[in-house]
Amino acid sequence: HGHLGNYPQQKFLLERALALKESEFGVGHINTAVALRNLAESHGHAGEYKLQLRLLQQALDIFRREFGAEHVDIAITLGNLSVAYGNIGNYRCQMSLAQESLALKEQTLGPEDVRVAAALRNLANAHASLGQYEEQRKLAERSLIITQKAFGESHVTVAVALANLASAR
C-alpha cells in the first residue's frame, strides 16, 4: 500500500502487524523492533516525523539490547534515524547518525556491500544539507561505483545512485 501512496492503509496494516508481534514475541523482541522500524517509516512517509523518531528510537534500543553495539540492524536503524532527523531540519544529528550508520555497515558488511552504498547516499545527502557539496559528490561517486559493481549498469538501483550523483552540486 505504501508504494501506491495509500499511507493510511499502510499504517493500519503495520500497526496491526506490530500488535501481533508484540502479543506473540513481547515488546522487547527483535521481531517487534523490525515491526517498529517498518511502522516508523510509514509515519515518515506521512510527514509524522516526531512519531517516526520515537518509534525508530524504540527499535534501536531493542536492537542494541539484543545484539550489542555491532549489528547490521543497528546500522539500518541509525540510517533511518539520520533521514528522519534530516526531515525535521536537525542536520548535525542527521550527519552524526549517517556517519555512525556508514561506519557500522562497513564494519559488519564490508566496504563493497550494496547496503554500504545506501549508507553512502544517506551520508552524501547529509553533507548536502549542510552545504558541503564536494563531500556530497565524493560519497555519491563511491556509492555509484559500489552499486554498479553489485547490480550492473542497467539496474533501477543504479538509476537511484546516478540521480544522487546528479544532484551533487
pLDDT of residue 62: 98
DSSP notation for 40-88: HHHHHHTT-HHHHHHHHHHHHHHHHHHH-S--HHHHHHHHHHHHHHHHT
3 state DSSP class of 154 = coil
d(C-alpha 55, C-alpha 68), whole Å: 19
pLDDT of residue 5: 66
Nearest-Å Rg of the Cα atoms of the chain is 16
Residue 41: how many CB atoms within 10 A of its CB? 19
pLDDT of residue 4: 62
Instruction: Please report, in angstroms and rounded to a whole number, the separation of the first and last CA atoms in the chain.
Output: 34
Residues of the chain with pLDDT under 50: none
pLDDT of residue 7: 79
CA 45 to each of CA 17, 73, 99, 105, 110: distance values in angstroms, whole numbers, following the listed order: 18, 20, 23, 24, 30
Q: Residue 161 in contact with residue 140, Cβ under 8 Å? A: yes
d(C-alpha 28, C-alpha 111), whole Å: 31
User: In this predicted model, what pLDDT tens digit does every residue of 74-107 receive, in sequence order?
Assistant: 999 999 999 999 999 999 999 999 999 999 999 9
pLDDT of residue 6: 76
